[in-house]
Amino acid sequence: MQRTACRPANLRLPSARSPLIQLQGAALLLALFGLARPAAPAEIDAGPVKLKPYGFIKTDAAYDSQETNSGGFALFVEPEDGTTESDQFSLSARATRLGLDLAGPPAAGADTLARVELDFYGSAMQDNKSGVLLRHAYAEMKWERARFLFGQTFDVLSPLWPDTLNYTVGWAAGNIGYRRPQVRYERLCGDPKGVSFLSQASVNRTISPETLGTHDPGQTSGFPTVEAREAVSLPVAGRPLTFGVSGHYGEEDVEGHPLKEGATGLPEESDSWSAAGDLSWAITPQLQLKAELFTGEHLDSFLGAINQGVNMENGEAISALGGWAQLGYDLAGPWKANAGCTLDDPDDDDLAAGMRARNQSIYGNLIYEFNAQLSMGAELSHWTTDYLDKDEADAVRVQWTGLYRF
């Protein structure tokens, strides 16, 4: 990632040959690339904007008793049909993450902030030739009780995720929601220390996995995807509990799509919608509960219905329901443990033979934090994927992860 130097106009730099500038330059490089270990990320003044680099180096090693999609991470188990019936081992550093927070001067009584964040799970041929993936690129205005955001970041709906070591955090297995370009507004009402209410709404770019060539059904629909969420937070037994309801609606216009010609079943229009609920509760200072439920239709761009959107044989949008639940516990000292289960269950009536009909996982992990920067963890999970009119496939997955934050 290229970086350019910025400095205020009135700042006079010593000669590049002086020992002072060489030491300062070395310290800056160490801070930017995480080789230094300050107590907190160092801020860099760039005129009116303060920059704070952050991120982590993450290495994942996993063994699967049966092939999963896609090995480096697990979405579902491949069918045991003789062509993919094999165990597998993967080792990757592609989940490594680099980010930059920016803080500018106040505007209209609000803090002005921005974030850019990348990882390396973009298009690539091999794990040692990783492609860059843009995770976040947004700017925001934050008031005490309101927030206005524009750019790419997480969906408004289903805002939680399981604390699994798996990179895909339950996607295609019961956890819906991803990241997409959007314009968002949020408003907080009530007492943050008592009962409070959070309202969130966003207008989003409609993303269509059915895009082929230059035809983009999400863009040609002429209609954005809209999302909204209402949440209430309140103390229960003296501990904070938050419950939210959320959903989305979007349209895809596939008239003229190349796949529509011939024997395929693509309709001229297809709606995408969801309704979801989320719950988080700190039961005790050590024990936390998180859970989500969802139902909806044409959810492949939200990684629902086991990443299936439309049945190409009859043109039916695939509906599904599912969810996940997890308990997390902070053990004595630097140990943390999590255990949970996930489920994604498409409607069999919407599927053709051989399509994924049910996907579930059960997982447990143990994480040890050596210090604020270094942690390691191990996770054991069992995955079962059913296929319509075919035998189910299952896999045991053992994963180790090493993480160094900066």
User: Each residue of 44-60: pLDDT tens digit?
Assistant: 988 899 999 999 999 99
Q: What percentage of the chain carries pLDDT values higher than 70? A: 84
Which one-letter DSSP state was computed for residue 215?
B
Q: CA-to-CA distance for 164 and 340, rounded, in angstroms? A: 9
Which one-letter DSSP state was computed for residue 313?
T
Is it the case that residue 231 has pLDDT exceeding 80? yes
Q: What is the mean pLDDT of residues 276-284?
A: 97
* Number of CB atoms found within 10 A of residue 383's CB: 25
* Number of CB atoms found within 10 A of residue 66's CB: 20
- Residue 53 CB contacts under 8 Å (≥ 6 apart), including other chains: 31, 32, 34, 41, 42, 44, 98, 99, 100, 101, 406
Q: CA-to-CA distance for 298 and 206, rounded, in angstroms? A: 12
Q: CA-to-CA distance for 204 and 155, rounded, in angstroms? A: 9
Of residues 211 and 333, more confidence is placed in 333
pLDDT tens per residue, range 355-388:
999 999 999 999 999 999 999 999 999 999 999 9
100 band by pLDDT with thresholds 50, 70 and 90: very high
Q: CA-to-CA distance for 326 and 190, rounded, in angstroms? A: 28
* pTM: predicted TM-score of the whole model, two decimal places: 0.86
Q: What is the CA radius of gyration of the chain?
A: 23
Q: CA-to-CA distance for 106 and 49, rounded, in angstroms? A: 11
116 band by pLDDT with thresholds 50, 70 and 90: very high
Distance in angstroms between the alpha carbons of the first and the last residue of the chain: 16
Is it the case that residue 252 has pLDDT exceeding 60? yes
Q: CA-to-CA distance for 273 and 284, rounded, in angstroms? A: 36
Residue 144's alpha-carbon distances to 110, 125, 141, 149, 186, in angstroms, are 8, 46, 10, 14, 11
Q: What is the mean pLDDT of the chain?
A: 87
Q: CA-to-CA distance for 74 and 394, rounded, in angstroms? A: 12
265 band by pLDDT with thresholds 50, 70 and 90: low
From the list 84, 124, 117, 79, the residue with the least C-alpha distance to 98 is 117
What are the structure tokens assigned to 393, written together? 């496939």
pLDDT for 12 equals 32
Is it the case that residue 140 has pLDDT exceeding 60? yes
Q: What is the mean pLDDT of residues 235-250?
A: 96
Q: What percentage of the chain carries pLDDT values higher than 90? A: 72
pLDDT tens per residue, range 142-160:
999 999 999 999 999 999 9
What are the structure tokens assigned to 48, written together? 């009116």
Of residues 237 and 177, more confidence is placed in 177
From the list 176, 188, 315, the residue with the least C-alpha distance to 248 is 176
Going from N- to C-terminal start, the domains of the chain cover 47-405
pLDDT for 46 equals 85
Helices (H), 150-229: 217-220
- Burial class from Cβ neighbours inside 10 Å (0-12, 13-18, 19+) for residue 368 reads middle
What are the structure tokens assigned to 246, written together? 């959320």
Q: Is 47-405 in CATH node 3.40.50.720? A: no
